[in-house]
């Protein structure tokens, strides 16, 4: 059970929504880089782009293609009103889950004897 990707599976969409929320407009590669800067170094563009497509199809994201000063057009994402609601719901659920897990591990002493 050492695979971080299994832990990320249910939370990555929420993290993407938060990154998009925090930026006026952001494109896929930029999202990947921001995730890596937060320590999620195992996340690749091959993981991000299908999630962006799914979030867009679910009407959680808006997108617009704009010319890049460095090459071809880029697809820039913003949160839709539905996406803002989803982000709020995700965060509330995350806090509840984190609280429950913290309670379960409150007496776990793995690091106390090292």
**How confident is the prediction along the chain (114 residues), in pLDDT tens digits per residue?**
446 667 777 799 999 999 999 998 999 999 999 999 999 988 889 999 999 999 999 999 999 999 888 889 999 999 999 999 999 999 999 999 999 999 999 888 776 655
DSSP 72: E
Distance set, CA 40 to CA 3, 10, 16, 44, 54 (Å): 13, 14, 12, 9, 20
Q: Where are the domains of the chain?
A: 2-103
N residues, the chain: 114
Q: What is the pLDDT of residue 5?
A: 67
pTM of the model: 0.86
Q: What is the pLDDT of residue 8?
A: 78
Q: What is the pLDDT of residue 24?
A: 85
Q: What is the pLDDT of residue 113?
A: 57
Q: Among the CATH numbers 3.10.20.30, 1.10.10.10, 1.10.150.120, 3.40.50.1370, which is that of 2-103? A: 1.10.10.10
Concatenated DSSP letters for 24-51?
Answer: SSEEHHHHHHHHHHTT-TT--HHHHHHH
Nearest to residue 56, comparing CAs of 85, 17, 10?
17
Distance set, CA 9 to CA 13, 37, 82, 83 (Å): 8, 18, 21, 18
Distance set, CA 3 to CA 62, 71, 85 (Å): 32, 36, 30
């Amino acid at each position: 059970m050492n695979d971080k990707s299994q832990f990320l599976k249910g939370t990555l969409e929420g993290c993407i929504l938060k990154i998009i929320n925090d930026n006026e407009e952001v494109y896929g590669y930029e999202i990947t880089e921001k995730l890596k800067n937060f320590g999620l170094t195992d996340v690749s563009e091959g993981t991000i782009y299908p999630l962006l497509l799914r979030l867009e199809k679910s009407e959680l994201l808006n997108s617009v293609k704009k010319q890049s000063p460095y090459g071809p057009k880029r697809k820039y994402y913003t949160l839709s009103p539905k996406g803002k609601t989803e982000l709020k719901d995700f965060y509330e659920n995350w806090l509840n889950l984190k609280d429950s897990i913290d309670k379960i591990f409150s007496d776990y002493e793995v690091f106390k004897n090292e």
